Amino acid sequence: MGLYHLDDERQAAVHKIRKRVIENIGRNMDLYGIPVSTGHLYGLLYFADKPMNLDEMGQEMKMSKTSMSTGVRTLLDYKMVNKVWEKGSRKDLYEVEYDWYQSFVDFFDIKWRKSVESNIHVLRKALDETEKLRKAHEDDEELTAVLQEDQAKMREAVAYYKWLERLIDTLVDGEIFNYVPKEPPEGKI
Amino acid sequence: MGLYHLDDERQAAVHKIRKRVIENIGRNMDLYGIPVSTGHLYGLLYFADKPMNLDEMGQEMKMSKTSMSTGVRTLLDYKMVNKVWEKGSRKDLYEVEYDWYQSFVDFFDIKWRKSVESNIHVLRKALDETEKLRKAHEDDEELTAVLQEDQAKMREAVAYYKWLERLIDTLVDGEIFNYVPKEPPEGKI
DNA sequence: AACATTGTACAGTTTTTACTGTACGTACTT
DNA sequence: AAGTACGTACAGTAAAAACTGTACAATGTT
């Protein structure tokens, strides 16, 4: 973590402060459906002042290299960390994506959009089948009533998901920042 | 589910269509950190044409009443279902919140906001401690460099979380729908 | 007051998820 | 080509989460 040139006491003090932040980040990362330990890994990388390799991570996290491998892969899938190329080193190096706004957007673009698309697809298909069934039994008033109810609900659902898609679009194209602007960090310049 | 007056074949056809939708909703519900089975429960309630009690749910889901109880509680916490009062019945009745936009907003207002607040709190505290540590060792250039780096990162993080708070605000106060408007459901009037 | 019904706390079980160690494929080095 | 270093697939183990059955408190009924 690049602070081993400090004397032990001061190093420990820095570590202690970082640790609480890292653990909090890790804990809250379950919002993204990410295991706590992978969240910790993220936190570790967040404070690292240079890209890390799997062995270094394992050492710091006191976990197996295999776990680091899978953890990093998860974070890569979410684009929360990036692979870094460094001449000389044969090891793969990773660093966090420091643009958290981008990470937030990517999360929705990756996970939520997939879910939304799948839901719309299934609903469209169900609407189709419902319509067929309805037409095949137009004389059956009870059935018609049930099917129309279902159709109304499913059309509402599709409308909602399409809204969600548009919302994700405004995130991805950055338009959201016109509505809800970023502000510069507070504190000394 | 209110369709037992239909003949068996047609009833089965309706069930089959609903089932796939329900399962998809359930599966995608893990985005909210909700167990798949609770997602299914939600789907069941979604298609129910009247509020259900725990025994009915257990029967349909082929699961224990205890599980229904905890499942419903989870959904209540997220405001995805509402408790309904019906004179006569001693049993508690529940129905889904059909306003999915509202459910979406509530989810962020409840889960994300809590997380954001906790993160800001921890970061502010860490920034404080960092500042104290820095002032106590102003002669130590190495330490100062490390701490300033950490401070810069944490201030960025706070700025991001404050943005997230404002985003959630626009969801909660409904302003988001001025930017990304709802559209009426498609299909026949 | 005795009895019945309902929801849930809690302990125990099952199922799922996270983690580890080994073994191996790939790619670089000599 | 043999040797070495690296990342990950895979099988097994440990830990966590979901689920069930029983017991009981709260509330309503007779």
The nucleotides of chain C lying under 7 Å from a protein CB are: 5-10, 17-22, 28-29
Q: CA-to-C1' distance for B96 and C16, Å?
A: 28
Q: How far apart are CA A165 and CA A131, in angstroms?
A: 25
Give the pLDDT of chain B (189 residues) as one tens digit per residue. Answer: 466 677 888 989 999 999 999 999 999 999 999 999 999 999 999 999 899 999 999 999 999 999 999 999 999 999 999 999 888 889 999 999 999 999 999 999 999 999 999 999 999 999 999 999 999 999 999 999 999 999 999 999 999 999 999 999 999 999 999 999 998 887 654
Q: CA-to-C1' distance for A66 and D13, Å?
A: 15
- Work out the minimum CA distance from B70 to partner chain A, whole angstroms: 20
Q: Which nucleotide is nearest to A64 (CA to C1')?
A: C20
CB within 8 Å of A39: residues ≥ 6 apart: A25, A26, A27, A28, A29, A30
Domain B8-97 belongs in CATH node 1.10.10.10: yes
Provide the 3-class DSSP secondary structure of residue A124: helix
**Contact list, A101 vs chain B (CB under 8 Å):** 160, 163
Residue B9 has a pLDDT of: 87
Helix axes A54-61, A65-77, angle to 10 degrees: 110
Q: How far apart are CA B42 and CA B179, in angstroms?
A: 29
β-strands A93-96, B81-84 pairing: unpaired
Handedness of CA A43, A49, A53, A59 (dihedral sign): negative
The nucleotides of chain D lying under 7 Å from a protein CB are: 5-10, 17-22, 28-29
Helix axes B113-136, A8-28, angle to 10 degrees: 170
Quick check: B122 and A20 CB within 8 A? yes
